[in-house]
A and B are shown apart, each in its own frame.
Chain A
Amino acid sequence: MSGPRILRCHVGVGPVAEGEALVTDDNFSARYDLDRLQGIFSRPQHKLHGQSYVGKVLVVNTAKGGVASAWMLHEMAARGMAPVAILFNRFNPILAQGAALADLAICDRFADGDITRLIETGEQVKVEPAVGLVTVG
């Protein structure tokens, strides 16, 4: 594809953020899926098992698991061990609440459909939650 692609989504939470995409059609829970000290996916069944999410624009399907992610995003960000942004097809309240405390960019509900198929791992992504805009490439 040539030139940057513009993807529109619902107004999200958090500041403008930029980084390299890490994409999966799997889901996300900070408690269930991550080794937060090492900054990698640790649940054996997760499709990103063993991969580092630190500094990435993580692109996933939906939010899973419990309420702990709300504190955990803040704790991860404070240590510099968080993704710079997370894009979902649909997030849940916990991820929105956690992103608000952590000052982490998150967005969901993309106009063009399944976000996990609209971005590829390794692409450069800019996320603007306040206006619901994601620029790829």
Chain B
Amino acid sequence: MRLTDIEEAMARGEHGAPRQWAIQHMQQVGRAFDAADLVEVHQAHIMADTESLGEAGVAFLERLGQAPAADRRVRVPTITDPRGIDFAHYRKLGQTDAMANLERRAIDAFEALGVLMTDTCINYQTIMPPLPGEHQAYGDTGVVIYSNSVLGARSNFEGGPSALAAALTGRTPRYGLHLDENRRGTHRFVVRTRPRDLAEWGALGALVGRAAGSYWAVPVIEGIDGPPDSDALKHMGAAMASFGSIPLFNLVGITPEAPTLDAVCDPASLPVREIDAAELKSFFGEYGAPGEKVDVVVFAAPQLSLIEMQQVADLLDGRRIHEGTALLVATSPGVAADADRMRLTERIEASGALVLRGMCFYQSYAREMAEANGWRRLLTNSAKLVNILGGYGYAPSLMSMSDCVDAAVAGRTP
């Protein structure tokens, strides 16, 4: 991989040990993907919940954070994905002091590096959305797929270590979604129905993701008549990335790189897969028997926008969550501050629900929370969350936000 003079200097350690580690890390990754050189990025977004970091990851960050200030400060604006702990509520959730202590150490290390603790996976709605063509180093697959697809940005999935390497150097290896040739459509879908709510948009994303099925696939989707809103594409993209490891999709006539079908693929060369209302419905599958006890209802993955917070508040007004059921609502610290000021938090929590700040549930020791609280039966309107939580010992079901709230109040599935 070709390096510029300044990159060579970083590789030799002339800009300090953290940047030397970063360049060496990128050389290993770049070699595996035949990257010709590094590309400058404007932002880095780091996924680093302590469940994933563990003691080893936190100790690694602390070592970087102990370098001299000139050597350790990030070179581009760097923000964080959701964390594992909301310090105001962790005991109520059955999380431990050891988890909270690990979290504090990780935060201290990131702050020593100059990282902004935004703790959000909806930065494209709330912090600074990228421009078309802007190269970025985003973590969180939901952030990457939305930013690439809806906003025309250029980012690979950057796991925590690589996003950190990008933050320290202002660069990332030029491969994958940074290159035009990897942004052409590879799979065609025609959708014969229009999803009606966020859960259905998520289900559509899940079906496309499962069918396309690889990081190197770019689905091109026709048949969506007029643009949905940002929350709908947020859920669709997050589910597509989760089920298929997909980093980019195109909605013909809606997303910026696909004004027409021909602009983004060679239509004649690609078979067409249709998705109709029946297939969408069948994705929701079995909810278990009606009247079955519900342990926990979760709105998260991705974190809720201010608009979704209002929808939850409207559905909960004047109602009380069943005493045997927990209702958790995860949003970013920034949205939560707005929701506090507009009294949405108060309206949601008056029902017995909890608003969690800077968390996203599945990045928060979901297995330990299940064991501590006896949670198994989980309802959510997030297709992404349903996909993840099976491995964590939950029996999850996907339904609309409104049905989820009804079930939380009744304590039972509808």
Interface residues, chain A, with chain B CB atoms under 8 Å away: 10-13, 31-35, 42-46, 62-72, 74-75, 77-79, 90-94, 96-98, 100-101
Question: Are B52 and A97 within 8 A (Cβ)?
Answer: no
- Determine whether the beta carbon of A93 is less than 8 Å from that of B388: no
Of the candidates B29, B48, B390, the one whose C-beta lies within 8 Å of that of A97 is B29
Listed A/B pairs (30) with beta-carbon separation below 8 Å = A11-B31, A11-B32, A12-B32, A13-B31, A31-B388, A32-B391, A35-B367, A44-B390, A44-B391, A66-B47, A66-B140, A67-B159, A69-B159, A70-B47, A70-B160, A71-B47, A71-B161, A74-B56, A74-B57, A75-B52, A75-B53, A75-B54, A77-B56, A78-B54, A79-B56, A90-B214, A93-B33, A94-B159, A96-B32, A101-B60
Chain B 38-63, CB-CB to A under 8 Å as 1, else 0, gives 00000000011101111111001000
Q: Across the two chains, which residue of chain A brings its CB closest to B213?
A: A62
In the bound complex, do residue A71 and residue B391 qualify as a contact, i.e. CB atoms below 8 Å apart? no
A12-B32, A68-B52, A97-B158 known; A42 and B393 CB under 8 Å? yes
Residues of A within 8 A of B32 (CB): 10-13, 91, 96
Given A92-B245, A93-B176, residue A70 in contact with residue B54 (CB < 8 A): no
Residues from chain A with Cβ under 8 Å of B303 in the complex:
none
Taking the complex as formed, is B215 at the interface, i.e. its CB lies under 8 A from any CB of chain A? yes
Q: Which residues of A contact B213 (CB under 8 A)?
A: 62
- Nearest-neighbour CB distance to chain A for B270, whole angstroms, equals 19
Interface band, chain B: 35 or more
| Chain B nearest CB, measured from A62 CB (Å) | 6
Q: Is B124 part of the contact surface with A, judged by Cβ < 8 Å?
A: no
Q: Which of A70, A79, A93, A97 contacts B215 (CB 8 A)?
A: A93
Asked if B160 contacts A43 (CB within 8 A), the reply is no
CB pair A101–B25 under 8 Å, yes or no, is yes
Number of CB contacts from chain A to chain B under 8 A = 135
> Chain B interface (Cβ within 8 Å of chain A)?
25, 28-29, 31-33, 47-49, 51-57, 60, 81, 139-141, 156-162, 175-176, 213-216, 241-242, 244-245, 362-363, 367, 387-388, 390-393
- Least CB distance, B176 to chain A, in whole angstroms: 6
Beta-carbon contact of A100 and B25 below 8 Å = yes
- Of A32, A68, A78, which contacts B56 at CB under 8 A? A78
**Interchain CA distance A70-B393 in the complex, whole Å:** 22
Decide yes or no: A97 and B391 within 8 Å by CB, A62-B214, A66-B242 being known contacts: no
Taken together as a complex, chains A and B put the C-alpha atoms of A18 and B139 apart, in Å, by 32
Contact residues in A for B363 (Cβ distance below 8 Å): 68
Residues of A near B140 (CB, < 8 A) are 66-67
Q: Of the candidates B33, B158, B388, which one forms a contact with A32 in the assembled complex, judged by CB atoms under 8 Å apart? A: B388
Provide the residues of chain B in CB contact with A13, threshold 8 Å.
Answer: 28-29, 31-32
A44 vs chain B, min Cβ distance (A)? 6
B33, B57, B215, B390: which contacts A45 (Cβ < 8 A)?
Answer: B390
**Do A90 and B216 touch across chains, with their CB atoms under 8 A apart?**
yes
